[in-house]
Amino acid sequence: MTVYLVGAGPGAADLLTVRAARLLGDADVVVRDRLVDESVMGYVNPRAEVIDVGKRPGDSASQSSINELLVDLGARHDVVVRLKGGDPFVFGRGGEELAALHDAGIACDVVPGLSSALAGPLAAGIPVTHRGVSRGVTIVSARGARGERTNFRVLANAELTLVILMGVEHRGDIARQLLEGGLEPATPVAVVEQAWTNQQRTTRSTLAELGHLDVRPPAIIVVGGVASLDLRSMGILDVAVL
């Protein structure tokens, strides 16, 4: 009896790892998040029970109740897959679930997934680092576990790429803080919505205009010089999202 914390990757089913696909096919129960693309569910054992615990505004499963559910399922089934979008340990609260299972004496294992923080920008042809443009990348969530806002002023660094998850709702405040922190209004910005799905859309602009962009979650915000790059238009990358 084992609970597997499995990363579903950023969207398209063929970005699953081989191990993730195998476990989905062997699963007795799959506990899925909202951001798992429907194409991924095609790999699930047709006899498996699928439980949706996706968090939505005003209608969400608490993390403690998810932990309790995993412990209960892990005690009753041979193969339980906890399926999370991206990677379970990049703002996926995988560590909390792993700790809860360990404390309950439930065997667990981890299957990493491609994080949308890195793969999402690339779907739009954006490398998060690029020689002569960016020498590093900072990945950050726009809000903390208890809803507190991230201090973006201290993250303003023109030499680094800033990749922001869960930031669309707060994009105006994010832009204001980064400008106050010293970034130029003309700093390139890109917002990649629903990366690696057939609903993918990329909006490119500047930091000065970020707060006014017509964009919707789920989306990734990229701030920095690389946001103006598109390796596809340069003829050196052919990205297929399906």
Clarify whether 238 is annotated catalytic. Answer: no
- CB neighbour class for 30 (10 Å; exposed up to 12, middle 13-18, buried from 19): buried
Q: Give the start-end residues of each E strand in 112-211.
A: 137-141, 161-165, 188-193, 201-206
Please tell me the least confidently modeled range out of 70-79, 84-93, 206-215: 84-93
Q: Give the start-end residues of each E strand in 105-159.
A: 107-111, 137-141
The helix (run of H) or strand (run of E) holding residue 121 is: helix 116-123
Q: What is the DSSP string of 15-52?
A: GS-HHHHHHHHH-SEEEE-TTS-GGGGGGS-TTSEEEE
Please tell me the least confidently modeled range out of 1-5, 147-151, 195-199: 147-151
Q: Cα–Cα distance between 208 and 205 in angstroms, integer?
A: 8
Give the model's pLDDT for residue 241.
Answer: 47
Give the model's pLDDT for residue 58.
Answer: 44
Kindly list the distances between the CA atom of residue 20 and the CA atoms of 77, 169, 177, in Å, as whole numbers in the listed order: 18, 31, 39
Clarify whether 166 is annotated catalytic. Answer: yes
* Sign of CA pseudo-dihedral 83, 84, 85, 90: negative
Say which of 26, 28, 41, 55 is annotated catalytic: 55
Say which of 26, 28, 41, 166 is annotated catalytic: 166
Give the model's pLDDT for residue 16.
Answer: 94
Domain positions in the chain: 2-111, 116-228
- CB neighbour class for 132 (10 Å; exposed up to 12, middle 13-18, buried from 19): exposed
Please tell me the least confidently modeled range out of 35-44, 69-78, 142-151, 191-200: 142-151
pLDDT one-digit tens code per residue, 10-66:
988 999 999 999 999 999 999 999 889 899 999 999 999 999 997 655 444 688 999
* Cis peptide bond N-terminal to 112, omega within 30: no
Phi (first) and psi of residue 94, to 5 degrees: -65, -35
Class of domain 116-228 as given by CATH: alpha beta
The helix (run of H) or strand (run of E) holding residue 170 is: none
Give the model's pLDDT for residue 59.
Answer: 45
pLDDT one-digit tens code per residue, 102-141:
999 999 999 999 999 999 999 999 999 999 999 999 999 9
Give the model's pLDDT for residue 239.
Answer: 55
Instruction: Tell me the CATH architecture of domain 2-111.
Output: 3-Layer(aba) Sandwich (3.40)
- CB neighbour class for 183 (10 Å; exposed up to 12, middle 13-18, buried from 19): buried
Residue 237: is its pLDDT beyond 90?
no
Of 227, 229, 223, which is closest to residue 155 (Cα–Cα)? 223
Clarify whether 55 is annotated catalytic. Answer: yes
Predicted TM-score of the model (pTM)? 0.87
Measured N-to-C along each axis, helices 94-103 and 63-74 cross at an angle, to the nearest 10 degrees, of: 50
- Looking at every residue in the chain, the average pLDDT score rounds to 92
Give the model's pLDDT for residue 232.
Answer: 77
